[in-house]
Amino acid sequence: MPSYHLKINGESHAVEACENTPLLWVLRDHLDMVGTKFGCGIAQCGACTVHLDGNAVRSCSLPVSAVGEKSITTIEGLSKDGSHPVQVAWKEIDVPQCGYCQAGQIMTASAFLAKNPDPSEEEIKNAMHGNICRCATYNRIQKAVALAAK
């Protein structure tokens, strides 16, 4: 089985996995980083979102062999103590209901704000559009992203 040296949250991790194994399962099953969630498995819901060199990607559909030298950030590595502005805003607005999709929401929001620190309401809506929340916390998500941008 091939082995891969992955840069995750600032640390190097060696894993052995079939080349088509989605990054999501390497994170969860090989490395016990279970903050990243499985929702649909077909890149449609956003629950599995992580950063790859700062870009939001869906780890359920990214083969581990495609990661290469790129740096991965998961929800565990966004901040050590929940102090990232998006996490702070999430707490302030009390966004989560069941919570299942929230890691993916936060990873999408943080990648978006890193590139667009002063977004309009419309831009926030568009950026978060592809992240599904079964509890429909969309209004609070919008507010929290706007708050984090301040």
Q: Which residue ranges make up the site for ligand FES (CB under 6 A)?
A: 38-41, 43-48, 58, 60
DSSP string, 58-92: EGGGSBGGGTTTPEEE-HHHH-SSS-SHHHHHHHH
Cβ of residue 110: shortest distance to ligand FES, in angstroms? 17
Query: Measured from the CB atom, is 38 or 146 closer to ligand FES?
Result: 38
Query: Measured from the CB atom, is 27 or 45 closer to ligand FES?
Result: 45
> How far apart are alpha carbons 118 and 41 in whole angstroms?
32
Query: Measured from the CB atom, is 58 or 84 closer to ligand FES?
Result: 58
Short-list 66, 75, 70, CA closest to 47 = 75
Cβ of residue 58: shortest distance to ligand FES, in angstroms? 4
Short-list 72, 109, 74, CA closest to 90 = 109
Query: Measured from the CB atom, is 85 or 130 closer to ligand FES?
Result: 130
Residue facing ligand FES at closest CB distance: 60
Q: How buried is residue 86: exposed, middle or buried, by Cβ count under 10 Å (0-12/13-18/19+)?
A: buried
Instruction: Locate 27 and state its tokens.
Output: 């994170």
Cβ of residue 22: shortest distance to ligand FES, in angstroms? 8
